[in-house]
Structure 1
Amino acid sequence: MGAWNLERCLFPEASAAHAGDCDLLLLSEMDHGMARTKQRNTTAVMAAEQGMVYAYAVEFLELGLGSPIELQFCDEDRNALGYHGNGLMARSALRAPFALRLWGRRQWFFDDEQPRLGERIAVGARIETSGGAVHRRFDPSRKRLRPRAPAEAGGRPDRRAGRRVPRPAGADRRRSQHRQSCGWRLAGRGAL
Structure 2
Amino acid sequence: MDRGAWLFWVLIASLCGASAFFAAGAEGQRRDVRAASVTLESGAVVSLAEVVDGDTLLVATEAGEKVPVRLLGVKAFDTKLEKDVTKTYGQAAVDKLRVELEGKPIRVLLHSTPKDKHGRTIATLFVEEHDVGLDLVKSGLALVYTVYPFPTMQIYLTAQELARADRRGLWSNPAAVLRADALSAEWRRQAP
- Report the structure number with the largest CA radius of gyration: 2
Q: If the length of structure 2 is used for normalisation, what is the TM-score?
A: 0.26
Q: If the length of structure 1 is used for normalisation, what is the TM-score?
A: 0.26
Question: More strand per residue: 1 or 2?
Answer: 1
